Amino acid sequence: MPEALTSLTQVLDINLKAPAIITREAVRLMLKGEPLKSELPLDGRKQNVGVRRGVIVNLGSTASLKARSASGAPYITSKHGLVGLSKVTATSYGKDGIRCNTSASFASDSR
């Protein structure tokens, strides 16, 4: 297998495939559990607005939001895919009380 393809496969396995498998299993376990009733303030009153089962937070990157050089394509592709995974999970299981988000971190100089 060419080196570039090996690198792409490794990055996708770590940054996208692993979170997809973990998300699938987390959703499965959350759906098995008893939901908590959610009473959130709405217009100053408490109303039963649904159920809560849990929250999944995937660790993304601001790199998924802005294209850089071609050498970063595997990483950017994997993090962009993670955003899509989170959106699909949130849309598919929100009605069941499961939320899913991506936190997009960025590099900073902490010196």
- φ, ψ (nearest 5 deg) of residue 81: -65, -35
Q: Considering the entire predicted model, what is its pTM?
A: 0.78
* Cα 86 from Cα 90, distance rounded (Å): 6
Interval 94-108: pLDDT, tens: 989 999 999 987 766
Interval 46-79: pLDDT, tens: 554 567 889 999 999 887 777 777 778 889 999 9
Per-residue confidence (pLDDT) for residue 23, from 0 to 100: 98
Residue type, 62: T
pLDDT over 50 at 110, yes or no: yes
CA distances to 2, 27, 50 from 105, rounded to whole Å, are 31, 24, 30
Token pair in block for residue 106: 């960025």
Per-residue confidence (pLDDT) for residue 48, from 0 to 100: 47
* Cα 78 from Cα 11, distance rounded (Å): 7
Per-residue confidence (pLDDT) for residue 7, from 0 to 100: 86
Question: What value does the mean pLDDT of the chain take?
Answer: 84
